[in-house]
């Protein structure tokens, strides 16, 4: 399981992201190594290969191509100001930079400096975008984050939303999507498998991927394969 946790943290120190399809292939190899004693490994790998070749679903919002974009994440602690906000903003930033053609992502450090200079209570995303010379602001809110389901089980849960603001059009979102009560992984994970900080990154990487792929095509079967793989790992414990 430790190998899986390390594998799922997909943002490198260079800000690049492994593609979801490549991630599935690599993860299948990790599972096979874990299950060498099982005669089903070859069959499992073949099934994952078939899943990986699924048909991509289109982007729900595809207007970020060739645009200058800022990602701002709000939590109960403020905007891009606590571990959750920083982790999600970095993941989404890197995923968009990798998967949206010719997008210009505004550096997270620059966004942080602008946010630190804002008057208390300022939440006008178009004003923030204007100060950053952005075309669009992707505004994410993460609330009610919980990482535990009892004293011995990790299970992430949160409610989140994604709004897109076109800076030139004023402070009304041009796109909105909710992620109410997102739970992952469904079966949970024993707290003996990892520490809380690593599990937090694991959970937030999952919700970040689901938010980011609003803006680019993705293979919807990836989730099925990934969830089945997580369940398979625990079934061999």
Residue 157 exposure: Cα atoms within 13 Å on the Cβ side: 12
Distance between CA 226 and CA 223 in Å, rounded? 5
Please, where are the H alpha helices in 100-195?
Answer: 108-116, 125-131
Q: Is the bond preceding 30 in cis, omega lying within 30 degrees of 0? A: no
Distance between CA 81 and CA 89 in Å, rounded? 10
Please, where are the H alpha helices in 53-195?
Answer: 83-99, 108-116, 125-131
The residues facing 177 across adjacent strands are: 162
Locate 20 and state its tokens.
């979801």
Record the pTM: 0.76
Three-state secondary structure call for residue 157: strand
> Phi-psi bin for 104: left (phi > 0), alpha (psi -120 to 50), beta?
beta
pLDDT tens per residue, the chain (237 residues)? 544 454 444 444 334 444 444 544 454 444 444 444 433 444 454 455 445 555 789 999 999 999 999 999 999 888 988 999 999 999 999 999 999 999 999 999 999 999 998 887 778 999 999 999 999 999 999 999 999 999 999 999 999 999 999 999 988 999 999 999 999 998 999 999 899 999 999 999 999 999 999 999 999 888 777 777 766 665 545
CATH value of 58-217 in 3.30.70.2860, 3.90.1150.10, 1.10.240.10, 3.40.50.10610: 3.40.50.10610
């Amino acid at each position: 399981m430790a190998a899986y946790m390390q594998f799922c943290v997909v943002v490198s120190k260079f800000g690049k992201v492994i593609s979801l399809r490549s991630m599935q292939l690599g993860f299948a190899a990790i599972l096979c190594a874990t299950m060498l004693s099982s005669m089903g490994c070859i069959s499992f790998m073949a099934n994952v290969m078939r899943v990986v070749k699924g048909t991509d679903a289109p982007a729900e919002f595809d207007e970020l191509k060739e645009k200058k974009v800022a990602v701002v994440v709000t939590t109960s602690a403020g905007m891009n100001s606590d571990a959750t906000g920083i982790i999600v903003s970095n993941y989404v930033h890197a995923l968009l930079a990798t998967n949206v053609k010719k997008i210009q992502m505004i550096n997270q450090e620059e966004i942080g400096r602008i946010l630190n200079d804002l008057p208390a209570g300022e939440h006008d995303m178009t004003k923030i975008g204007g100060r950053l010379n952005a075309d669009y602001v992707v505004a994410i809110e993460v609330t009610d984050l919980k990482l535990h389901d009892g004293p011995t089980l990790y299970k992430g849960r949160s409610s989140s939303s994604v709004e897109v603001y076109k800076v030139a059009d004023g402070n009304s979102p041009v796109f909105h999507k909710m992620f109410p009560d997102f739970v992952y992984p469904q079966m949970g994970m024993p707290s003996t498998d990892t520490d809380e900080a690593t599990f937090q990154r694991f959970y937030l990487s999952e919700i970040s991927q689901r938010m980011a792929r609003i803006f680019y095509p993705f293979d919807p079967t990836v989730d099925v394969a990934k969830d089945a793989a997580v369940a398979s790992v625990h079934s061999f414990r």
